[in-house]
Each structure stands twice: as C-alpha cells, then as structure tokens.
Structure 1
Amino acid sequence: MTPFKEVQPQPDDAQRALIFFDFGCPVCAEYHERLVAWGTGLPRTWRAEFVPVTLPSKESAVGARAFFAVAAADPAKLSAFMAAAYRRVHQGGMRRSEPAMWRAAVADAGVRGFDAAWASVSQRQLEEAMAKLLAYGINATPSIAIGGRFVITPDNTNGDASLFFQLANGMVSKAMSY
C-alpha cells in the first residue's frame, strides 16, 4: 500500500501544494506553523495555498468566508489570522458559527479592511473551494494535494509529523518528475 493517494490529474494545480484545513480540526491547529514553514520552502516555481474545507454547514461556510475575506483584505496577515482562529476555537472554546469568534480572530491578528472584504466574498469562491475538496476526494484534515496528482494526510504516516513532512517533500519531487 502506498503512503499517498493518486487522483485524476488536475492540470491547473500542477505546480501547487493545496493545503486543505478546517479551523475545527485539532491536528490542523497543531500542524499550522509547520505547514506554513513547509509551504515557504517549496521550489521557486511552486506555491502553497491554504484551502478551507467548505461544506454546506454554517460553521464551515462562515469559517471559509472569514478566511477568504482576510486573504483579500490583508493577505500578509493570513497566517496570523489562522493561528488566532485556531487559538480561539481550540483554547478559547469559541464556536465557529459565531461571527464574534471571527471578529476576535481578526482583531488578534491586526487585520485591516475585513468588513469590506467580508461583504465582497462571493458564493463562487466558496463553491470553488468545495469543488477542489471534491476533486481531490479530501476526507481528512489537514491534507495536502501535491502537483494536482497526489494527496497525503498525517494519517499516511500514523501521525508522525516529521515523517509527514518528509513524505510531502518526496511527493513534491515525484510530482516534479511528471
């Protein structure tokens, strides 16, 4: 058995690592800083993109909308916002369906222009995130879709974080060979 899943090639993502996450996922919270650091170390022609798991539920949709609003309003603060949201949910016990939770995370991260960006998040953005989720068959978070061909999760390494990031590097190399 291989430690990854191969999927129908997604040519638009050939030089991307899509990091699927959910703010309610404790493993996503635990891996966040390492995922950010890993993404910055990708080959020069590649880029890492976080993709919120977007399901037809209020918690999922509100979290995804907040993510897209921060990404549009103040992209340099996106990682800080995500870390603040994880803290608010996992340490502060705040509910992801509550707008106050997202406003608090935005304030914690010092995001500017959030309200205008929130109003401009389109249904299409949420639908595109959901389409990516379905195209890659994401069923656990965090998951990384690599090069539009492969998907890995920490489950593939029995939760061994170091081995997971080694696997991620190897899968990038494998994807580059196509």
Structure 2
Amino acid sequence: MDRRKFLLGITALSVSAVTGAAPDIGTFSGKTHLEFDDDAVRKFKPAIPIGNYKEDAHRIYMFISFSCPFCAQTWEAFAKWALALPNPYKFVYVPIFNGKVQNTAGTGFYIIRELAPTRTPEYLRLAFSLQQKRNTGTKDYIAILYQMGFTRQQIASASQSAVTQKRIARAMMLYQRYRVGIVNQTPVFGVAGKYLTHTGFTKNGYYKEVAENLSWLITDEIEKAS
C-alpha cells in the first residue's frame, strides 16, 4: 500500500474528528519526540516499544479512565478517527481497573458489552458525564445501568457471566502488557501489539497530534506487511 496516500487519508479524518470534538484539550508539557516526516518516522517511532504480541497485531487499544477529563473529551473523536482504519484493524476501548470506583465503572462497561453492545457509546457518555458530579461513587455507575433500562437480575447475571469475567481479566492483562502504569496520564494507546503512545510523543501536546502518530504507526505496520 502507498504509505503516503493512506496516511493522508486517515490523518485528514483523524485531525478533523479530534479537532471538531475538542480543539484545545490535552496539552502536555513533555519533550517533543518527533517531527512529522517520512524520514523521521522511519528513524524513530513516536511510541514506547512494548514487545511483539501477534494476537494484537490488528488492534488499536484506547486505555481510558472514567475519572479522566481528557478521556471524556476525546473518546468519541477517536471512535470517529477509527472509522478510517482499514480491515482487519479494529479500535477497542479498554477501561483501566484501579480502585473500587473505577473497577465498578469498568465492570459496568463490560456488562453493557454483554447485554447490549450497540449501546456501549451510550454507557460511555453517561459514565463520563458523572465527572460533573462531586464525590462520584460506585452506586452512581450502577445507577447508569438501571437508567438504561436493565433489571437487577440482568445486571447480576451479566456481571457474573464467564464472558464478562474473561473480558475484565483481559483488560487487566492488556494494562500490564502495554505497561500503561508507567505513564502518569490517560488516555494512552496500545498499537498493533508493539507500541504504547500518548501526548508525550507529540510536538505540542494535542490529541489531534496523537491521532497523526497513530496513523503513522499503523501505516508503518501496513508497509512492512506489504
């Protein structure tokens, strides 16, 4: 595949999506790691190498915390960015399980994945909106499930199902695999079983630049496979 042609297409969508949703968010005072040109990308990738996990070769993971304002402002924009991904690449949200409240929020996410996967964006929107509420607790995330119309029995059954437990365990495993804990911020992104990237690998610390970096990393993988 023509690297430049694909990059221009996916970056155009990514920048417009992220800029349209949140034009001035996500500034980060970290060091600039990359100037955006072909030679620089080939010489130094805008990411942390984490290994080579073949089963993740076509996955882009967005690690999110429901208490993170930048996650709240960008999750939808990155979903729009992902619409330009070529087959077989897929974009996947991965909640971070860290403490009782975030564990409940993450479990709620996977309960919805089990009960009504097409309503996942609705859960995300409601869960992130709780940031506007002071002293958010576990009961607030459980209340979202009732608000969405699910019964106590449905919620309990889905939370205890083997599928939900497997998904939660995998989310925790991916958190370790991609070494998300070494980055003191969210969201962060796991790319193709090989890389972790975030705003620290951008020139100005904007999430539209993260989208550009993701596009570079993916096109590099496509080029190597062609």
TM norm structure 2: 0.69
What residue in structure 2 maps to residue 173 of structure 1?
219
1:111-141 alpha-carbon deviations (Å, 9 max, x no partner): 6565132232654433321111111111331
CA distance in 2, matches of 1:131, 1:22: 16
Shift of 1:65: 0.9
What letter is aligned with 1:51?
V
Give 1:175 deviation, angstroms: 2.3
1:163 aligns with 209
In structure 1, the residue matched to 2:190 is: 145
The answer as to whether partners of 2:159 and 2:165 remain within 8 angstroms in 1 is no
Q: Does 1:118 align with 2:159?
A: yes
Q: Which amino acid is the alignment partner of residue 92 of structure 1?
A: K
Describe the SS at the equivalent of 1:151: strand
The alpha-carbon deviation at position 94 of structure 1 amounts to: 5.1
Asked if 1:98 corresponds to 2:143, the answer is: no
Written as runs of structure 1 = structure 2, the 5 A alignment for 1:7-156 is 7-55=50-98, 57-88=99-130, 90-93=131-134, 95=136, 97-99=137-139, 101-107=140-146, 110=148, 112=150, 115=155, 116-120=157-161, 122-138=164-180, 139=183, 140-156=185-201
% identity of equivalent residues: 20
Post-superposition CA distance 1:91-119 (Å, at most 9, x none): 12351x422x11333355x3656513223
Q: Residues 23 and 165 from structure 1, CA distance in 2 versus in 1: closer, same or farther, beyond 3 angstroms?
A: same
Unaligned runs of 5+ in 2: 1-32, 34-43
3-state SS of paired residue (1:177): helix
Q: Give the TM-score taking structure 1 as reference length.
A: 0.86
**Which structure: larger Rg?**
2
**CA shift for structure 1 position 9:** 0.8
Larger RCO, structures 1/2 (Cα 8 Å, 6+ apart): 2
- 1:4–1:152 CA contact under 8 A, matched in 2: yes
How large is the RMSD of aligned CA atoms in angstroms? 2.1
Partner of 2:208, secondary structure, is helix
Q: What is the count of residue pairs matched by the alignment?
A: 173
SS of equivalent residue, structure 2 residue 101? helix
What residue is the counterpart of 2:12 in the other structure? none
Report the CA distance shift for 1:40/1:111 in structure 2 as closer, same or farther (over 3 A).
farther
